[in-house]
Amino acid sequence: MQKKMTLASDATALRRRAEARMVTRRKKQQAGVCGPESAADTRRLLHELQVHQVELEMQNAELQESRDRAESLLEKFTDLYDFAPVGYLSLDQQGRILEVNLTGSALLGVERSRLVNRSLSRFVILPGRTAFLDFLARVFEGTGKEACETKFMREDGTPFWASLIGGLSASLGGAKKVCRVALSDITSFKQAQEAQRLLEALSVSNEELKKEIVQRQAVEKALKASEQHQCRLLEKSHRMQEQLRHLSHCIIQAREEERKRISRELHDDITQTLVGINVQLETLARDTAVNPRVLRQKIARTQRLVEKSVNAVHQFAVELRPTSLDDLGLIVTLHSCLNDFMKRTGIRVHFTTFAGVEQLNSDLRTVLYRITQEALANVAQHANASHVKVNIRKIGDSVHMEICDNGKSFDLEQALNARKSQRLGLLGMRERVEMVGGAFGVESAPGHGTTVRAQVPFHKRAKEQVRP
């Protein structure tokens, strides 16, 4: 631009010099002083004019080139300004639009000519107008670049989010301050932010849902396990009820059978023996002339009958409840029971115990005796064993009894669930132990025989009251 102005001033000066010389030559011709020097001056002037003409033509070509380049730059500037991807606006301190490019007018939905001198705040939606005015005030305070995001409304009523970046600039005259603002449509960005926020919220919700699903699955699993456990307990309860009914039935039957047996034994043995004694006594009463030797024989026969009756009654008493259990204690009674078992069956028995077992109360000693009695009966009837171990020991606050045989094994479940057995057997032993707060167990395996275990609490017997 500076070069263009220099070329124009040189051409003007050259023209003025040529005009001045023409005026001087014309004056000399009128005064009649034009001679050979004047002709030489004329040629020299003509030569200078020709030279200057060439220079002018060159300068004219440069001017044309500069103008074309300026027009090209102006066209590029116009394209960059009007068709920029963002809207450019020039605002005064009141927010009125002084200049705007085509992109800005397109963003606001109004022709550029109609936007000039209109307030930009009129396009800002009311909730964001305060933020826009604060932004404009900060720009005119001259603190540097300022930015603002707010929601705009086009003239056709379409809302959009806009980003404003502004800075302070002086006008061409230099007296008035102007705010240069770059206006961008960030609706897609805001929508993406909202989508991202929703996605993050959805992700958090999904994580919480996953945790809830895991918790519900755990609860469901626990409920299923609890339901299965309840079903097992219910089944076990039903089975135990059946066992209790069976045990009751067996007890009633066993009681009746025992009564029948005692009645039969009393009728067959005791009654007949007593009848024989009575016959002998009647014979002695009628025969007064019996010699002493015959009398002694008859009395001896009668005594044997009486002894037989006493032994039978004693055997009944022992089977019902041995008096030695209360009079002599558990150890002596078990020794007697085991010796009798070995004589009857020929099975060897090894018995170990501790002296403190006699401190148990009567109920607990009775339980241990009955468990031993029933277990030996099962060994004699079913085990086909040659050796039995009976061990009683104290562990902690409990008394443990183990009865082990080397006989054949059996199916424990089948034995516990049997319905046709007429004996109390395992159910009776378990009920006896559980009634006194103990625990009962049986193990039976091929090649290892059967082990019966009973555990009862170690309660010392109460002191017997001294009778007056």
Provide the pLDDT for residue 399.
93
Provide the pLDDT for residue 59.
78
Structural tokens at position 90: 């020039």
Across residues 393-405, what is the average pLDDT? Answer: 92
Given a cut of 80, is residue 368 above it in pLDDT?
yes
Mean pLDDT of the chain: 79
Provide the pLDDT for residue 462.
44
419 exposure class (CB count in 10 Å sphere: 0-12, 13-18, 19+):
exposed
Q: Which of 127-136, 222-231, 293-302, 374-383 has the lowest mean pLDDT?
A: 293-302
Given a cut of 70, is residue 4 above it in pLDDT?
no
For residue 56, the surrounding DSSP H or E stretch is helix 36-82
Structural tokens at position 447: 């090649």
Q: What is the pTM of this model?
A: 0.43
**Rounded-to-5 percentages of helix, strand, coil across the chain:** 65, 15, 20
Provide the pLDDT for residue 463.
43
Helices 292-320, 187-265: axis angle to 10 degrees equals 170
* Residue percentage of the chain with pLDDT more than 70: 72
pLDDT tens per residue across span 75-90: 666 666 777 888 889 9
Dihedral Cα 336, 341, 343, 345, nearest 10 deg: 180
Round to whole Å and give the CA distance between 376 and 378: 5
**Residue of higher predicted confidence among 468 and 274:** 274
Task: Place domain 87-185 in its CATH homologous superfamily.
Answer: PAS domain (3.30.450.20)
Task: Place domain 322-457 in its CATH homologous superfamily.
Answer: Histidine kinase-like ATPase, C-terminal domain (3.30.565.10)
Provide the pLDDT for residue 465.
35
Given a cut of 70, is residue 175 above it in pLDDT?
no
Q: Which of 68-72, 212-216, 404-408 has the lowest mean pLDDT?
A: 68-72
Given a cut of 50, is residue 123 above it in pLDDT?
yes
Across residues 26-32, what is the average pLDDT? Answer: 65
Provide the pLDDT for residue 287.
65
Provide the pLDDT for residue 383.
81
pLDDT tens per residue across span 51-67: 777 777 787 888 878 78
